[in-house]
Every structure is written in C-alpha cells, then in structure tokens.
Structure 1
Amino acid sequence: MKLLPALVLIPLLARSLYATGDTSANWPHWRGSRDNGSVETGTYPVKWNAETNLSWKLELPGKGCSTPIVWQNHIFVTAPVDGQDSILAVDWSGKLLWTTRFGAERSGKNAHGSGSNPSPVTDGKSIFVYYKSGEFAALDFDGKVLWQTNLVELYGRDTLYWDYGTSPVLTGRDVVIARLHHGESYLAAFDKSTGALHWKVARNYITPDEGDHSYATPILMKHESRETLLVLGGEHLTAHDADDGKVLWSCGDFNPQGKRNWVPVASPVIAGDMVIVPYGRGTRLHGIKLGGTADVTITNRIWMREDTGSFCSTPAEYKGRVYLLHDHGPDRGVIECIDPTTGKTLLRDELPRTSSEFYASPTVADGKIYAVREDGVVFVARIEPKFDLLAENDMGEQIIASPVLVANHLLLRGEKHLFCIGNKR
C-alpha cells in the first residue's frame, strides 16, 4: 500500500443523497437508499434454496441483468418482453401488476449481458429507465409513460466493447445519464417532469485502449451545500455541479503506467469523507479525499493499494467500513474489509471456490454479507465481530444482478426468475 502526501483540504461532509423516507422500506436505486449497498436495520434470511423457504418466484419474460428496485409496495425490474425493452411492476405477493413496453430491444454482446443492464431508479413519484437501445423514459406508478425519447437517435450509439450498464441517477430536479466511451463522451441532465434537456457536457480524455470506456454509475452527493455528481471514467474521477454539469474538481493518475484495457466496471463508494475507487481490473484500490477545487490529483489521493481491488463488483459501505468482493482471477471469492481512511485491511477471508466468478455486487445487512456467484449460489457470511460462513444457497440458475435487501426480504433477479425470500413485512 502506498500512503500519499495530503495538503490542507477543504472540509467536507460527504454523504449520498438517495436516502429518502423510510430507508428500510425502499430500495430506489441499484445500490439502495444510501447508495452504498447496505442497510443497517431489519432481519434477513440466511438459509433457503430455490424450491423451499421462498416467499415466491416469478418467471421473467426475458434475460436482463439489471437490479430490481423497490418503493413501498412496488417492485420494479426491467427485462425484454417479446423483443421489446420493458419494465415490470410486481407487488409483494409476487403478482405482476403491469408491464410497459418501449421499443425494440438491442440485445447484448456479452454472454452475461443484455439490453436491460441499467437498473431503473425512482424518487417515489416516477420511475426512470434507460436501455442499451437508447430508449429513455419516465413512468408513473400505474405504468403510464410520462415522456420518452431515444438518446441513441439523438446522440449516436455507444462504442463500448461490451454492453451498456450505467444506471440513471436522480438529482432533485433532473435524471442524469452518463455515457463514457471512445469518441464523444458526455454527462447529460434531463428534467424529471418533462424529459427536456437542461444541460449536456462533454467528458473526453485521451487514454490507452479502452481506458476511455466506463460501465460505472455516478454517485450523487453533497458538496458545500450543493448537489454534486461523482463520475468515474476516462482515467479520471470528476465532481460535477448538478445544476449545470460544470466540473468542480478532478482527480487523475489512475493508470500511470498506461496499461491497455483498464476499464472501470465497478462503481466507487463513499465512506465518510473518502471515496473508495476500484481500478486496474481488480488490481488497484484508491482512497480519495472528497472536496477541493480544480485538479486534486496530488492533494486528495490519500492512499493507493496495488495488492487488492475488485473488477466488476462494486464495494459496499457498512458502518463506516468498506467491504470488497474479489470477483475474478486467483483471489475470486475473497471477502476483504477495508478501513477507508487508511486503506488497511481489517478482515480478510474467502468463500468456497469453483471455476465460476462473481459479477453481482455484495450487499450487507444485519452484520452479514450477501455475495452471489454467477452460477446462482448465494453465500451469506457473518462479518462482525469476525468472518463466519453461515450458508450456501443454490438458486439453480445464473445470477448476474446484485442482491436487494429491503423490508426483511431478499430479492434476487436470476436469468429466468425473480425470487423473493423472507416471511415478514
């Protein structure tokens, strides 16, 4: 681990702005109410299988890799229906309430991918969706389309090597889309009520091959009392004013050796006044102090490790600590707890290993971590005060989407089914 010098930094109280209402009852965004992949209240299931101890399972109409979201009595999940981009609404009994279709699906390039990789997002009033095809829309809770446009038709196709997976992000006023790839990359904000474009800013950097691509999702946070968007891609972490997209500060030097194909897939996670950034295809982990102005590359990188990280799975923050799931390579299945202020490892253990890898991001609740392997095995392990593997639950089908823990239930989106495990609401 490299500890890096830090100059005087602007004090900052950083936090996600997704927390809305009763955070135990809602999961409005793919990483939850606090945008950190964890929940600190509730009691969640530990042992089950695909045939017993299920509340219900619902057959899905087509393949998608997006994570379900929840607002009170509604569960929303995107999937293709008869070759069309669609969203399904389900209640807590597993009943399908409605399906809304938008247009022709653009299917995935990768065997694990799909045209429905981005997850929906909601503010409790409307639901917002985006698909690889470029279809971009807002709906009400009855499934009525409020507005719809196609960003591929407006701004051209993405040039990503693999399937677009960045999810929309909400501010108080707008729904924001980030598209970072080779060519004209951009960040754009659209009015939540009308879909009208408020601003669109270019975000282009010259990088080695694939370094200008990104599959990470931005984070909304507070910066000096204003809404700020954190964006990772193009070998830079940038903070943008949510009102106009202006860059407030930028941190670079994530690939000083100019490695090819160092594309970010996992998103960063905020822990206190630090943002933890996985990089280098699972070989690097950076601790960046939030705040400052202009170029903070030298001042704000507090530590960097070259012996740990994650490639596809986004870390989770829980009670001030950061939990990594090593998803690929020789360390796949390793669970590691990191002190975000120092970068030091506080806990390290590993799950049973097979040839299968991990694509889903880990979720933490009730002192336990839920980690889903691509072959559909869901591991549940206690992480405090020490690591203890509690269960291996085989769902019998591939799972790429991240687990959702909300209202004492676990939701799992598999290749063929949406599963609900839990007994009390």
Structure 2
Amino acid sequence: MAIGRILPRALPAAAALHTAPENTSEGASLSHMTTSTEQDKNRLVTSIRVVASSTAMVAGVFTVALVILLAAEFLRASYLDVSYQSQIASQRSRLHQIADQDEAIRQIRQLDLSWRRSVFAWYRFSHLASGTLFIAIGILILSIQIVDYLAGPTPAKPGASRPPARSAVLEPLHLASLVAVGVLGAVAAVIGLQAPVPGLQAQASAAQPSERHWYRFRGPEGAGISPYSEIPVGFDGPTNQGILWKTAIPLPGHSSPVLWEDRLFVTGADTNDCQVYCLDANNGQILWVGHVKVQPDRLPKVPAETGLAAPTMATDGRQAYAIFATGDLVAFDMAGRLVWQVSLGLPDSPYGYASSLEAFDGLVIVQFDQGQPEDRASKVIALDGRSGKAVWQVNRPVGASWTSPILARIGTAWQLITVANPMIIAYDPRTGQELWRAEAVAGDLAASPIAAEGLVLAVQPYAKLVAVKADGRGDVTKTHVAWENDKAGPEVCSPLCDGRYVYLLDSSGMLTAIDLKGQLVYQQVIDLQFKASPSLAGKELLLISEDGTMLRIAAGPEFKELARYQIGEECTASPAFSRGRIYIRGRQHIFCIATKGSQDQTSQ
C-alpha cells in the first residue's frame, strides 16, 4: 500500500531527472545563439551610430562653412551692386556735359553689362548655395536623430520609479544642435532669398529711382531726356515704314506710356470703366487689362481735353501704379493681379485731375492738389507700394494744379519737387519733411518743373520761367530765386534742359531757348500746335505736334530743324524711350518706332 502511494509521485520525478541533461544542453545552445545575435546586433548598431555621428559632424561643419561663404558672397555682391549703380548714376549725371557722348554712352552700357553679369552670378550662386544648404541641414538633422535613436534608453538608477527617457545624456546636445541649425538655416534663407533681381534689387538697395527705365512721366527725374542717343529716322506712320508695331488701345486717355524692361503700361477710361493696359514692348501684344472698380456716382465732370485718364502711371518693376481723375489709386503686379486699391476722394479740380505719379524706394508718391490755396485741401501722400498704406502725408498751402512731382538729385540727396499756385516746394521723399519753399509762381499751373545744374526750373503760364537754387532751407523766396525770364511761359508743355540751355515750347508753336543764367538765346515760331512736352535724345530735341508730326531739332544756341516725320494720328502724350526705340501714344494707338538694329532686340 505504501509502495502504491509513493510510485505515482516518484515516476514524474524520475522522468524529470532523466530528461534534465537533454533540456539543459538545448537551453545552453539557445542562450549562446541569442548572445551571439545580440552581439552582432550591437556591433551593427555601433557601426551605424559611428557613421551617423561622423555624418552629423561633417554636415555640421559643412553647414557652418556654407553659411559663412554665402554671407561673404552676399556682402560682396551688395558692394558691387551699389558700386556699379553709383558709377552708372555718376556717368549719367555728367552725360550731357561730355563732348563725346557716344563714348560716354558706350561706357555706361559697359558698366550696365558688368552690373547685370554680377547680379546674375550672385543670383545663380545664392540659389544653388541655398538649396545645397537646406540639403545639408536635412542630413544633419537626420543624422542627429539616428544617433539619438540608436543610443537607446539610459539604464535606470537603483531605486528609480521608472527608466529615464531615451538618450537623456544626448538630449541637451540634440536640442542645442537643432537650435543652431535653425538659426543658421534662417540666416541662410534670408540671405538666399535676397538675391538681387535685375531691375528690382538695384532700385531698392540704392534707394533711388531707376535711371535706365522710362518708369514715370517724362522718364527719370521727369527730365524728358532719353538715356539713349540712337533716334529712329526715316519712319512714316501712314505707310508703316519704320513702325515696328502699333496697337489699338480700347479706351481713350491722355496718359503717356511708361516702360520697365519689356513691359509697357498705359491707362484708358470712359464713363463706364477705368482700365490699365500692359503691353509687350517687343511686339505690341496686350498682355493683360486691369479693371478698376469705380462708383458711377463718383465720376467727375471733366472736359475732353483732360478726360478721366490724364495722369501718367509709374512702375518700380514689381508693380505698376495708376491713378484716375476719380481719385482712385491702384497697384497691379506684373502679372496683372490687382494688389490694392485706395480711394483718395473725388478731387476738387475744375479741369479734371491730371498729376502723374512718382515711385521711389518702395513708395508711390501722389501730388493731390485741389481747391484754392486758402482751402488747405491739397496734400502730398506717400504710400507703401506693397500694401497701399500711407507712409507719410503732408498738407500743402496751395491750390489745384495739374503739374507732376519730380525727384531731383541735389548734391548727394534726393528732393521731391512740386509746383502749384503760389509755391515751389521741396520735400524729403522718404519722410515728407518740407525742405524749402519759394513763393514764385501763380495761376493755373500745368507744366511740371525740372532740375538742372543745381537749379529748379518752373513755369508760370503766359508769364515767365523761374530758376530757384535748390540748396536752401525754409522760406527761400527772398534768398534763392536765382533769376526770372519773362520771354516765355508755356501753359501745358514742361521745360527741357540739355545742360546748357532751357527749351520752352508753348501750345502755339513758339520754341524759346534760354541759357542757365536766364538770358534769352533764341525764339522760333513753328507752324504747328503742341501739347506733348519736348524730349532730348543725344544732341537732338524731339517735338511731337497735336496733328502727329514729329520734328527733330538740333540742340544748341541756334534753331535748326533737321527732319519731320508723320505718325499718322493725333498726339497729346509725351513719348517714352528705350534703346533704338520710341514709343508714342496717339489718339487711338500706341506706336513703336524702331531703328533696324533694335527691331530684333528686347526692349531695354
């Protein structure tokens, strides 16, 4: 009985003792295999960590080096940009004082070409370096993440409630690396994205208006002087001889064309619509039409001689700005998208608002004169070109005028010059601070001022030409009026100066030349009538009559007519110029008149 009770318990124990050696052998084998696998895995992880750590170190050094190189190249490119622009501006300012103008223009073109090459070289380098930099930053971050992950959790301390976070020892280094990379990346992005774009960065960095684009009424400084001496000759509008293209503009307007690179802008309006047109300057194709919403009950009653689209546009190469007689000011980007629209209110102007716009250092500047001097309703407004928000605004003690503001370089500084009954007033274009004023004009003023040889030249219609020295401060009426000449006073056309003589053209066809000391040089009656202001190209005056006749007149102390050409259409707008081309707005069409050599070139 005892045996019967013990046997059932002994057999399992014996079986266990019998099989124990075999199980122990297999366990040892499995343990050895597991240990070997773990060792291989650890060796692999260690190798990957070493490679990732080395990669992170190399990528970090490369990133820092590339940022330093990018910053150095940015400073070098910025220096070259300012240097070239300064040299070009200096050459242009002395252009009409140099006897050999063709050689001077050749030098300007060579400087411009060198500037363009440096701009494009920086543009290519910055984009390549920025792209490479972001790849390097990506590799650095990925390598750090791999090292961090493969480090595994740090062993828990005795008595700790739970194991610490993964790679606690590396976490500060990891965090510091990410912060450093972020800072470097931000700096590089800012530098890379500021790569100069031809025609845009130059203007912004130099903080001055373009001197090679016909970007506003009568071109740079409102002077009416072409930067190019080549003049198309032998053209005839009625037969299309010498006409590269002509394009019909849907709505009427007296605004003059403006240019930026291969884009030409002009406005048109009637009682149903106000429009902005962008044309390809090479073939005349209308690229886009911008429509400006205007309330029908806000349309002013204006004579046909002025119309709703008399003010000339301005452009800075980023956007094109236009204002209409309704007081509506708009900005379109170069693709034709409306960026902003601002209503300045319906101007109190008996003949219709006609002052053209100015663009300077990211600002669009409006001379908004109206009413009578005692009304104190006139003002000059500078708006941010990107947003349309007012940057500065000053009230003016003047009445309604139809003149346009100009920017003039006086010494080393820019002045914004305005003329309206009864004052010539100069402002700082960046701040609106009044610099000086002279009570020297009166009447309904339409001819815009010009600046030459340190003088501001302004016209009082039917009365006189006034010269004011522009280096004064405060009220300079009694101290800085250099001279007056009462032999001519055009009522519409703005004056022109070639550096030696001032030319005045009145509507009846009287051309008057006065030297810069105020002495009459000559007067000549031309058998035509004029509304467009005279222009200068090389050593020749270009006059365009109301019936569409263009005259070439030799600049100098004696009147000499060189040639006449027919446009074939009435014309009241002033022309625009590019190399070897003249753009003229007729009553219905824009005409591009071109020399043979310029017909296959991109407008410049």
8 Å CA contact retained: 1:107, 1:114: no
Greater per-residue strand proportion: 1
Query: Per-residue deviation at 1:375?
Result: 2.1
TM-score of the aligned structures, taking structure 1 as reference length: 0.84
Residue 189 of structure 1 pairs with residue 382 of structure 2 = yes
1:6 corresponding residue in structure 2: none
Q: Which residue of 1 aligns with 2:534?
A: 362
1:111-156 deviation digits (Å, cap 9, x = unpaired): 222111111111122111111112211121111112111111xxxx
Letter in 2 for 1:160: S
Structure with the bigger RCO (C-alpha within 8 Å, sep 6+) is 1
Where does 1:370-389 land on structure 2 (aligned, <5 Å)?
370-384=542-556, 386-389=558-561
Q: Which runs of 5+ in 1 are unaligned?
A: 1-12, 206-211, 256-261
Which runs of structure 2 are paired with 1:82-161 in the superposition (5 Å)? 83-91=272-280, 92-104=282-294, 106=299, 109-152=302-345, 157-161=346-350
Change (3 A) 1:295 1:77: same
Q: 1:408 to 1:385 in 2, by over 3 A?
A: farther
Two-structure CA RMSD over aligned residues (Å): 2.3
Letter in 1 for 2:446: V
Shift of the alpha carbon at 1:82?
Answer: 8.4
Cα distance change of structure 1 residues 149 and 343 upon mapping to structure 2, 3 Å threshold: same
| 1:275-314 pair list within 5 angstroms | 275-279=456-460, 281-314=461-494
Task: Tell me how far 1:18 sits from its aligned partner.
Answer: 6.1
Task: Answer yes or no: is the 8 Å Cα contact 2:418–2:426 preserved in 1.
Answer: yes
Superposed CA offset, 1:326-348 (max 9, x none): 22xxxx212222222x1113343
How many aligned positions are there?
384
Q: Once the two structures are superposed, what CA deviation does each residue of 1:240-287 show, in whole Å capped at 9, x if it has no partner?
A: 1223322221100434xxxxxx111000110110011110x2321111
Describe the superposition over 1:68-107 as per-residue Cα deviations: whole angstroms up to 9, x where unpaired: 0011111111112783111111111111111111123847
CA deviation string 1:295-354 (max 9, x = no partner):
100111111112212110001222443221122xxxx212222222x111334333224x
Could you tell me how far apart the structure 1 residues matched to 2:231 and 2:208 are? 22
> 1:44-70: per-residue Cα shift (whole Å, max 9, x none)?
123322222111111110110000001
Query: 2: distance between equivalents of 1:320 and 1:140?
Result: 40
Contact 1:316 1:323 in 2 (8 A): yes
Give the Cα–Cα distance (whole angstroms) in 1 for the partners of residues 301 and 591 of structure 2: 23
1:37 paired residue among 224, 243, 264: 224
Over alpha carbons, which structure has the higher Rg? 2
- Matched with 2:101 is none
In the other structure, the counterpart of 2:405 is: 218
SS at match of 1:237: strand
In 2, Cα distance between the equivalents of 1:79 and 1:99?
A: 10
Q: What is the aligned partner in structure 2 of residue 163 from structure 1?
A: 352
Among candidates 239, 244, 260, match of residue 71 of structure 1: 260
Unaligned runs of 5+ residues in structure 2 are 1-89, 95-206
* Pair 1:272–1:19, CA change in 2 (3 A): farther
User: Counting helix residues as a fraction of each chain, which structure ranks higher?
Assistant: 2
Identity of aligned residues (%): 26
Give the TM-score taking structure 2 as reference length: 0.60
Separation of aligned partners in 2, 1:375 and 1:224? 41
Distance 1:319 1:282, change over 3 A: same
Residue pair 2:208, 2:361 contacting (<8 A) in 1 also? no
CA distance in 2: counterparts of 1:102 and 1:411, whole angstroms: 25
